[in-house]
Structure 1
Amino acid sequence: MPQALALLQKYWKHNKFRSLQSEIISSVLSGQDTFALMPTGGGKSVCFQIPALINDGICLVISPLVALMKDQVANLQQRNIKAIALTGGIRSEEIIDLLDNCQFGNYKFLYLSPERLQSDWILDRIKSLPINLITIDEAHCVSQWGHDFRPAYLKISTLKEHFPKTPFLALTATATERVKMDIIKELGLHQPKIFEKSFARENIAYMVFEIEDKIFRIEQILKKNPEPSIIYVRNRKSCLDLSSQLQALGFKATYYHGGLSSKEKDKNMQSWMNEEVQVIVATNAFGMGIDKPNVRTVIHIQLPENMENYYQEAGRAGRNGERAFAILLSSPSDIIQAKNQFITVLPDKKFLNLMYIKLNNYFQIAYGEGINEQFTFNLHHFCLRYEFPTLKTYHALQFLDRQGIITLSQEFSEKITIQFLIPSKEVIRYISLNPNDQEIILAILRTYPGIYEMQTAFNIQLISKKSHHRESEVVTILEKLKDKGIIDYHSKNNDATIIFNEVREDERTINRVSKHLENQNQLKKDHLQAVVAYVDEKSICKNKLILKYFGEIVTTDCGICSFCITKKIKKKDVSLLSNEIIKLLENEDLNSRDIQNKTKNNPEEVIFVLQELLENNFILVKPNNKYTLKI
């Protein structure tokens, strides 16, 4: 491996490989199909970049993440290594030029999404390239048992027919045993060498705290750890709201979500990467390909969808090897909210069948017809016409796409923004004169507090639900307010394309795939239940729980997680603090912040003792989140 080590020193300025890197590189260089499970921050990219540099030809890298592709191409180009990415938005003429460069310009890396392989002419051009290695990044996307299945990954195995002697390298950071075997099968790997790195991150303290005042706890954490931090939230509105709250508390904070323009995303991300701000509040759209070594804390303030996502997001902390914290703040209502977001939006067989029939009716496709017909499609208009819930309909369409019944382009959305143009007192006056509009307008004002100051992204379905009015009625009110000059209202449609791949057979079509739907829905439920079990389990080391989920069994506690910390609290201290809290509650009801301030104890100890008192029925939690003595 002297040549590989020389390249590592020349281009990456490292004097030795990390764990398993040299073994994986040797396997690839020997021409062997290879599967590598390397948790977040393990250095997966070097495992294919160095073999590709050693061998003649070009390395084809298949990745689902545009941000990751752009980041890796930029890093390679900075090292004077020739690399190209075929990302979305590139015209056919440009793609032809880029592929010509790959063929005749001595390029070493071609990055593309799996969806690109579905274009026959692109596949034909790739067949003519001198491919020395085919790398499949985020390989868990090929498995229907994985947390991020993408149907286009199932087409990758066809490359084996065209490149039978070219090694495949499948890379993933998160895969259970079942998913691992599915990856090997679906990609058609031939007697692959398998390398698995432990999921243990010994420098990360996994913390779970059940509290009622999350903002106060975040404030404590960020003051105690002033280094760079990421806070993950569930939706775009929470990004803006929490970022604003943190700024009001004196923290330098920004935000990142999928609804921002590319310019805004880059600006906000760079301000955090350059440490102009301490905190970036983000949805799960942020993080892939972001390698900032000195992130001190990663905080989740709502339950993640599954343990795979949580492990990847938490793993963005402490990549420099120093002590870091992955903190999950939970409250009793979080489980209900998570079920509403992740489970109730799943379509069942009855809804899928109805939606499929209406979809065909929408495009006037007769029974027994429709194969290979293509249409433009607006999801929002379709849902309005049939009064379908938008998210459930979207998941149903995605399922039909994954089963090959339809092909659905993914660019569609309806971006709505509004801003009130008149002062709040004038809005109140309008409401008094137009009482029929009151419920919808009040729902808007309560949901979007910053709507007077700036153009605000607007969710029609959410306002419909909160105001107890149909979505069509919300749209009517918006148009009316716009006409009267009360709001500035913009609605921009990006239509999707739907191709029907089969003739219309209604129930016969849905019956054929209904078992897959049941399995998929159950998998989602199992994934969320594993998260709930991780949060609820209070008698086992959190590190042990994470490793067990991924199939690793360890016998010793980590010593630094929230469970291990509570074990270190002396029994005498527990007894004293318990008595002190009970005496305080004899005089008045208090929340955990009040109790912490009055007892002068650290948050972990207070929460631990409050939990003990709750479990032993000494105290109760009232609806206002205050603790009171049980009578």
Structure 2
Amino acid sequence: MSEALQILQKYWKHDRFRPLQQEIIDSVLSGQDTFALMPTGGGKSICFQIPAMVNKGICLVISPLIALMKDQVANLQKRDIKAIALTGGIKSNEMIDLLDNCQFGNYKFLYLSPERLQSDWILDRIKNLPINLIAIDEAHCVSQWGHDFRPAYLKISGLKDHFPNVPFLALTATATPKAKEEIITELGLHNPKLFQKSFARKNIAYMVFETDDKLFRIEQILKKNPQSSIIYVRNRKSCLEISTQLRYLGFKATFYHGGLSSKEKDKNMLLWMQDEVQVIVATNAFGMGIDKSNVKTVIHIQLPENLENYYQEAGRSGRNGDKAFAVLLTNPSDIAQTENQFINILPDKAFLNSIYIKLCNYFQIAYGEGINEQFSFNLNAFCLKYKFPVLKTYNAMQFLDRQGVITLSQEFSEKITLQFIIPSKEVIRYTSLNPHDEEILLAILRTYPGIYEMQTAFNLPLIAKKSNHPETQIYAVLQKLKEKGIIDYHSRNNDSTLIFNEIREDERTINRVAKYLENQNTLKKEQFKSVLKYIKEDKVCKSKLILNYFGEKTTEDCGICSYCITKKNKKTNTIPLSKEILLIITNEELNSREIQNRINNKSDDVIFAIQQLLENEKIILKPNNKYILKL
């Protein structure tokens, strides 16, 4: 038995390697630069963790994802394997101690972000460590044609000068052919062995359904497949709303997003991992390092930003090999909404320059100063002061963070959440008896119409502006309402932390990074076009579309996606059902749910007949999501 397999059995309790893992490990152990392109769920971390355990010394793991670093370090420590992560928020003296531990404490893994390598003193300390392997996780970040490019990755190749005999292992789950070539070049990989697992997931049925009533369609899917499920949404508000609606419909559901506390995240995650709830509704903050084998269905109810992210998230289903479903629900308004959310909020060079200068002014940083200065930062207050759009500003700051100009902790949840817990008529009565509070209460109720139904994230600067009252007075009114039992009110001090990594140089700083911004904006637009092609193309197998996007050519249809099922169904006679649908909408507008309630047929057959009528232009879908005859 090989030493690698013995270590796998001893620490990970597995009897054998997954496909390609053994070959990749053997390549690394032979001292060869290696590139592993393995789709999500393929077990990439084992490919560097095992060879690092076989050899003496320490493995340097470069990763852009703090959450994933923490998760992997925690999992290694549970197995009594010594590992450290140099994440954000660690003070210099603590970092010195951690690096001392790496040098003298027999540690096996050191995780850090590529930005850490830009600190000369950290790089000097790393040069003196007994490095046995350099693993670059999420290696697509080194490519300007990858979906999450970070210029700090371009500096990694410099490690070759200090560790000429140490193998590099580049790992990624998603890379197009163009990105793959650039990764090899930019990392300076020397005659690398390339291992690529097919992107085909033969047990996953990729489904795209156009529907006017997404919640009803979700209800049908979850009843038909009552096993473990994930529903991906775009924002935190939708997490709460959809999970609440599902519980109202009788499903066991919880939710997960970046604004929850660690305790809440762990609690909700555990409920789902242990199958105490069927569904977890989540933003894309959920999923890194999650390996739940029995997920039957992954549903996206809004269009993804790119096919790379969609493939990774959809691939969290069916890891046990059983048939699983990756469902994307769309309606005609989705394209315009997604363009507004992804394309129209891309910052250009002029906007980026304006944001950077205002940031420096906001914190009173003089030209030529500011390096390593740290501040508490509230995004909403900053945007309100300078009248900047929040999402576009966030994108600009995220870009500056990725370029290493600033470091921004990702804590953009609101400081306050509240909910009215008495009937609306009682709130009106309170307002009439307390006229001094009226303007504040009316501003809250007009801004947050759903505040009676659920805990609602509360933007204090916005309400202060709308009511024309100082924030201190808003606080006082909220405290009074809480004491009187009118609202349930929670306040957390969770402003972001902003660190300036460079001296202020205004246009010189922005000019240096602007070319990356232009490339990324072009890339994001091209990626979104690929998403539109995926949902609109109705004459090609959905699995084939995904494989072609990632450079795999195949002539075979999968047989189980929405296109393939539709192709099979076209052989069945839907004429009588179509005539019945046309008859019932002759005199009134109906949505799909109302049509199904009137017709005694399987819901899938009714939906298929509606889609056929739409394709043949016999009916049209109005903006109110109701169907009428086309005149």
TM-score normalised to the size of structure 1?
0.90
**Secondary structure in 2 aligned to 1:23?**
helix
Correspondence 1:201-212 to 2 at 5 A: 201-212=201-212
1:18-66 CA distances to partner (integer Å, 9 max, x unpaired)?
Answer: 2222221121111111111000111212211221122111212222333
**Secondary structure in 1 aligned to 2:534?**
helix
Unaligned runs of 5+ residues in structure 2 are 482-486
Structure 2 Cα separation of the partners of residues 221 and 610 of structure 1: 18
Structure 2 Cα separation of the partners of residues 255 and 38 of structure 1: 28
Matched with 1:504 is: 505
**Letter paired with 1:483:** A
Correspondence 1:289-368 to 2 at 5 A: 289-363=289-363
Displacement after TM superposition at 1:623 (Å): 3.3
Structure 2 Cα separation of the partners of residues 591 and 297 of structure 1: 25
Are the counterparts in 2 of residues 136 and 171 from structure 1 also a CA contact under 8 Å?
A: yes
Displacement after TM superposition at 1:128 (Å): 2.2
Structure 1 Cα separation of the partners of residues 353 and 66 of structure 2: 34
Q: Does 1:444 align with 2:444?
A: no
Matched with 1:545 is: 545
**Letter paired with 2:177:** E
**Secondary structure in 1 aligned to 2:345?**
coil
1:228-258 CA distances to partner (integer Å, 9 max, x unpaired)?
Answer: 1111011111111111111111111111000
Displacement after TM superposition at 1:543 (Å): 0.2
User: CA separation of 1:505/1:250 partners in 2, compared to 1, >3 Å: closer, same or farther?
Assistant: closer
Are the counterparts in 1 of residues 206 and 542 from structure 2 also a CA contact under 8 Å?
A: yes
Are the counterparts in 1 of residues 157 and 187 from structure 2 also a CA contact under 8 Å?
A: yes
Displacement after TM superposition at 1:156 (Å): 2.5
Matched with 1:528 is: 528
**Letter paired with 1:518:** E
Are the counterparts in 1 of residues 365 and 504 from structure 2 also a CA contact under 8 Å?
A: no
User: CA separation of 1:426/1:121 partners in 2, compared to 1, >3 Å: closer, same or farther?
Assistant: farther
Correspondence 1:199-278 to 2 at 5 A: 199-278=199-278
Are the counterparts in 2 of residues 73 and 84 from structure 1 also a CA contact under 8 Å?
A: yes
Aligned pair count reads: 618
Are the counterparts in 2 of residues 478 and 489 from structure 1 also a CA contact under 8 Å?
A: no
Matched with 2:181 is: 181
Structure 1 Cα separation of the partners of residues 414 and 520 of structure 2: 29
Displacement after TM superposition at 1:277 (Å): 0.8
Are the counterparts in 2 of residues 365 and 504 from structure 1 also a CA contact under 8 Å?
A: no
Displacement after TM superposition at 1:438 (Å): 7.4
Displacement after TM superposition at 1:351 (Å): 2.0
**Letter paired with 1:450:** E
Correspondence 1:16-415 to 2 at 5 A: 16-90=16-90, 92=92, 94-363=94-363, 369-370=368-369, 372=371, 374=373, 376=375, 378=377, 379-403=379-403, 406-410=405-409, 413=412, 415=414
Structure 2 Cα separation of the partners of residues 127 and 203 of structure 1: 46
Displacement after TM superposition at 1:519 (Å): 2.1
Are the counterparts in 1 of residues 418 and 458 from structure 2 also a CA contact under 8 Å?
A: no
- List structure 1 runs of 4+ shifted beyond 6 angstroms: none
User: CA separation of 1:98/1:523 partners in 2, compared to 1, >3 Å: closer, same or farther?
Assistant: same
Correspondence 1:406-485 to 2 at 5 A: 406-410=405-409, 413=412, 415-420=414-419, 423=422, 424-429=424-429, 440-451=443-454, 454=455, 456-459=456-459, 472-473=465-466, 476=469, 479-484=472-477, 485=480
Displacement after TM superposition at 1:517 (Å): 2.5
Are the counterparts in 2 of residues 414 and 493 from structure 1 also a CA contact under 8 Å?
A: yes
Displacement after TM superposition at 1:70 (Å): 3.4
Structure 2 Cα separation of the partners of residues 126 and 361 of structure 1: 36
Displacement after TM superposition at 1:509 (Å): 5.3
Are the counterparts in 2 of residues 437 and 477 from structure 1 also a CA contact under 8 Å?
A: no
**Secondary structure in 2 aligned to 1:56?**
coil
Unaligned runs of 5+ residues in structure 1 are 465-469
Structure 2 Cα separation of the partners of residues 79 and 370 of structure 1: 46
User: CA separation of 1:517/1:471 partners in 2, compared to 1, >3 Å: closer, same or farther?
Assistant: farther
Structure 2 Cα separation of the partners of residues 555 and 62 of structure 1: 38
**Secondary structure in 1 aligned to 2:577?**
helix
Structure 2 Cα separation of the partners of residues 497 and 141 of structure 1: 22
Structure 2 Cα separation of the partners of residues 414 and 275 of structure 1: 28
User: CA separation of 1:151/1:398 partners in 2, compared to 1, >3 Å: closer, same or farther?
Assistant: farther
1:472-501 CA distances to partner (integer Å, 9 max, x unpaired)?
Answer: 336847654443324657473635334363
Matched with 1:467 is: none
Structure 2 Cα separation of the partners of residues 475 and 243 of structure 1: 35
Q: Does 1:599 align with 2:592?
A: no
Are the counterparts in 1 of residues 590 and 627 from structure 2 also a CA contact under 8 Å?
A: yes
Displacement after TM superposition at 1:120 (Å): 3.8
User: CA separation of 1:381/1:478 partners in 2, compared to 1, >3 Å: closer, same or farther?
Assistant: closer
Displacement after TM superposition at 1:130 (Å): 1.3
1:504-541 CA distances to partner (integer Å, 9 max, x unpaired)?
Answer: 353x6545544432222121112222112111111111
User: CA separation of 1:489/1:587 partners in 2, compared to 1, >3 Å: closer, same or farther?
Assistant: same
1:556-583 CA distances to partner (integer Å, 9 max, x unpaired)?
Answer: 1000001101111144422232122222
Are the counterparts in 2 of residues 37 and 195 from structure 1 also a CA contact under 8 Å?
A: yes
Structure 2 Cα separation of the partners of residues 422 and 599 of structure 1: 41
Matched with 1:568 is: 568
Are the counterparts in 2 of residues 117 and 123 from structure 1 also a CA contact under 8 Å?
A: yes
**Letter paired with 1:501:** E
Matched with 1:492 is: 493
User: CA separation of 1:227/1:8 partners in 2, compared to 1, >3 Å: closer, same or farther?
Assistant: same
Are the counterparts in 1 of residues 144 and 516 from structure 2 also a CA contact under 8 Å?
A: no
Structure 2 Cα separation of the partners of residues 532 and 266 of structure 1: 35
Displacement after TM superposition at 1:619 (Å): 1.3
Structure 2 Cα separation of the partners of residues 355 and 430 of structure 1: 42
Structure 1 Cα separation of the partners of residues 159 and 468 of structure 2: 48
> Which stretch of structure 1 is more off in the superposition, 562-571 or 391-400?
391-400
**Secondary structure in 1 aligned to 2:573?**
helix
**Secondary structure in 1 aligned to 2:28?**
helix
Are the counterparts in 1 of residues 419 and 453 from structure 2 also a CA contact under 8 Å?
A: no
Structure 1 Cα separation of the partners of residues 303 and 410 of structure 2: 27
**Letter paired with 1:442:** L
**Secondary structure in 2 aligned to 1:19?**
coil
Structure 1 Cα separation of the partners of residues 414 and 441 of structure 2: 24
Matched with 2:615 is: 615
Are the counterparts in 1 of residues 464 and 470 from structure 2 also a CA contact under 8 Å?
A: no
Displacement after TM superposition at 1:442 (Å): 3.1
**Secondary structure in 2 aligned to 1:492?**
coil
> Which stretch of structure 1 is more off in the superposition, 158-167 or 394-403?
394-403
Displacement after TM superposition at 1:614 (Å): 1.8
Once the two structures are aligned, what percentage of the paired residues are identical?
A: 66
**Secondary structure in 1 aligned to 2:449?**
helix
Displacement after TM superposition at 1:91 (Å): 5.0
Displacement after TM superposition at 1:613 (Å): 1.1
Matched with 2:484 is: none
> Which stretch of structure 1 is more off in the superposition, 393-402 or 318-327?
393-402
